Chains A and B, each alone.
Chain A
Amino acid sequence: MAVLARQPAGARRWGQIVRAVLIAAVVLYLVLPLFSTVLFSLATAWSKTVLPEGYTLNAYRESFADPQIVRGIQRSLTATLATLLVGLALVVPALLYVHLRAPHFKRWLEFLAIVPWALPGVVLALAVIRTYISPYNVSRPAVLVLTYTLVSLPFMFRAIDAALSAVDLRTLVEAAQTLGAGWGEIGRRVILPNIAAGMLSASLLVAALASGEYVIARLLGGTGWKTFALYQAEAQFTDGRVAAALAVLGFGFTWVVSMALIAVAGRRGQAGPVMNK
């Protein structure tokens, strides 16, 4: 405050203007393409005018009328859900074990979980094809899900580990034991409530990643099991408006998930389970 007060009023005004211009530029840069896409997906015709000549939901209607696209959406959602289930089934028990029984092992787990993060998606996908699909002809959707799981491991790990590290789970479990709780009660009353927010934010993160993923889906799912992202890419060559509508749908999904993520994170920060250390 004191520093600001000493500045001449003119300089302060200039600073405010520069800041406003910068923020406006960034917002335009980010929002304009999105806005145009939305407009385009809703336009009847848009060639000679600044704004479209008329509006219609035809592109959306067409998208949902196309059984292929609907199947693509179903596949993407299925793959996302399966990825979540497999990921949680792997990460939650491993992290619980490490936090409750073998804290010294956590560094190794952390290292292992970060490895997939260091590999580009293409490399990972090709490696998976060479290892599983070419020699054994493992089902492609299954391999896709397992690869997504691999890619999302670091995110899963971080989010759930953060939730577990925020509380001294080991001592909480011991406290529950001395209070007469068996393992079922401990899981339900102690572990689950303290890990739920972490699991939810991990899930949302992974959902946002997996639902619109293209490279790995293209290489692993291929033409036999096209996901939403593949149809979306194809639509660009057939009908621009449908492509725009699909892009808006995809973005909408990610946006909803992100908002949910922020809400979860915000609530956790507010009524945060914090132990005195």
Chain B
Amino acid sequence: MGARLQAVGLEKEYGAAMAVDGVDLDARPGEFVSLLGPSGCGKTTSLRLIAGLERPDAGRITIDGRDVTDVPPQRRGLGMVFQQYALFPNLNAYENIAFALRVRRLPKAEVERRVAELLAVVHLEDAAGRYPHQLSGGMQQRVALARALAAEPPLLLLDEPLSALDAAIRDELRTELRRLQRALELTVIYVTHDQAEAMAISDRIVVMERGKVNQVGSPQELYDRPATRFAAGFIGASNRRLTTVELVAGHPTIRWGDARLPIARNGPLPPGSTVMAAWRPEAATLTDAGNAASALHGRIELITFLGPITRLDVRVPGDDEPVLVDLVSTAAAHLQTGQSVAVSIPPDAIRIYA
């Protein structure tokens, strides 16, 4: 069973720069939590603070209620997988995996049993005798995973473990990792800059920006209701413009190119204020050009077939760049480039950020 990890007010400064600036985390036992954000936002530093490889300037870290802030890494009892695998080059796969067990001076039979078990878990029974440089990247990362799991840590930390791998192996290993985490009921803190990866694998995502937590939520919550401009821009595709709110006959609207779109009245929206408006490409539908006054009228500039969906780039008069509209491919089969269309967006699908 996984451990509960809590971090409160973590801070770490390098020189004059705050790499981590007041980060709070709370991972429930058995939960898969991702730290997601662009490069340099402090994900790795946060993970290293949890692992004990760096000391925080401020804040506390507890594992299952035990304060480990001042405990050295070798006594925190957690597993870590590094981006570049960090396998011991002088040891073969078997001995790499056995490392934590040998350090703990487990009896020989116990070590053998456990390593054999782990080799099977990561499908490397045939590679036990091979040295790291004789293994592919994917295999090395499997060894690194098995090595980190050997001592049965209740908490596993992974720092962009898949980013150095090919796309196909990445997807395969991601699925395996998730399956393993579920089976072992491990608590996982997973660092990635890839929002699609975070969406696919996580129970909960912590979006980070410049050393701070920007938003925390399930993948679905983050996708449907990004709380900040940053989250709206970082997660999934969206059409975003800086615009102003105007009241038309008492109803709030925004300007989009030369057109005007009604928006739902969610939250205080002072007329005249500059805001960022965002909507997802799949929220829009095409309507008959004639009857929709509150639609964006434009011309199809590009049609991209993406399998189940087809993406349209629609050029709207007065707008700087085309808007993206995703349709189910069967509904887009009859469309042609250059064709005029009307794009209708439900008012409550348009999210407004101050």
Name A's B-contacting residues (CB within 8 A): 167-168, 171-172, 174-182, 185, 189-190, 193-194, 271-277
Most B CB within 10 A of own CB, among A172, A180, A273, A274: A180
Q: A194, B86: Cβ atoms under 8 Å?
A: no
Q: Interface size bucket, B side?
A: 35 or more
Q: Report B-chain residues with C-beta under 8 Å of the C-beta of A271.
A: 131
Q: A181, B103: Cβ atoms under 8 Å?
A: yes
Name B's A-contacting residues (CB within 8 A): 51-53, 72-80, 82, 84-91, 99-100, 102-104, 131-133, 137, 140, 147-148, 150-151, 157, 164
B163 to chain A, nearest CB (A): 12
Q: Report A-chain residues with C-beta under 8 Å of the C-beta of B76.
A: 178
Q: Report A-chain residues with C-beta under 8 Å of the C-beta of B86.
A: 168, 171-172, 174-175, 275
Q: A177, B90: Cβ atoms under 8 Å?
A: no
Q: Report A-chain residues with C-beta under 8 Å of the C-beta of B148.
A: 178-179
Q: B73, A273: Cβ atoms under 8 Å?
A: no
Q: B73, A178: Cβ atoms under 8 Å?
A: yes
Q: B133, A181: Cβ atoms under 8 Å?
A: no
Q: Which residue of the partner chain A has the closest CB to B153?
A: A178
Known: A176-B99, A179-B99, A185-B103. A277 touches B73 (CB 8 A): no
Known: A171-B82, A276-B85. A189 touches B99 (CB 8 A): yes
Most B CB within 10 A of own CB, among A178, A194, A275: A178
Q: A180, B74: Cβ atoms under 8 Å?
A: yes
Q: Report A-chain residues with C-beta under 8 Å of the C-beta of B74.
A: 177-182
Q: A190, B88: Cβ atoms under 8 Å?
A: yes
Q: Which residue of the partner chain A has the closest CB to B76?
A: A178
Known: A174-B73, A180-B74, A185-B103. A276 touches B79 (CB 8 A): no
Q: A168, B73: Cβ atoms under 8 Å?
A: no
Q: Which 9 A-B pairs have the closest CB atoms?
A: A273-B89, A193-B90, A179-B100, A178-B80, A177-B73, A175-B86, A171-B86, A274-B133, A181-B103
- Please, how many angstroms separate the alpha-carbon atoms of A276 and B143 in the complex? 14
| Cβ contact of B82, chosen from A175, A180, A182, cutoff 8 A | A175
Q: Which residue of the partner chain A has the closest CB to B89?
A: A273
Q: Report B-chain residues with C-beta under 8 Å of the C-beta of A275.
A: 84-86, 89, 132
- Can you name 16 A-B residue pairings with CB atoms under 8 Å? A168-B86, A171-B86, A172-B89, A174-B82, A176-B103, A177-B73, A177-B74, A178-B76, A178-B78, A178-B157, A179-B99, A180-B77, A182-B74, A194-B88, A194-B89, A275-B86
B178 to chain A, nearest CB (A): 22
Q: B84, A171: Cβ atoms under 8 Å?
A: yes
Q: Which residue of the partner chain B has the closest CB to A275?
A: B89
Q: Can you add 4 more A-B contacts, CB < 8 Å, to A178-B53, A189-B88?
A: A177-B74, A179-B150, A190-B88, A273-B133
Q: A276, B73: Cβ atoms under 8 Å?
A: no
- Please, how many angstroms separate the alpha-carbon atoms of A189 and B73 in the complex? 17
Q: Report A-chain residues with C-beta under 8 Å of the C-beta of B99.
A: 176, 179, 181, 189
Q: Report B-chain residues with C-beta under 8 Å of the C-beta of A185.
A: 103
- Please, how many angstroms separate the alpha-carbon atoms of A176 and B91 in the complex? 13
Q: Report A-chain residues with C-beta under 8 Å of the C-beta of B73.
A: 174, 177-178
Q: Report A-chain residues with C-beta under 8 Å of the C-beta of B132.
A: 273, 275
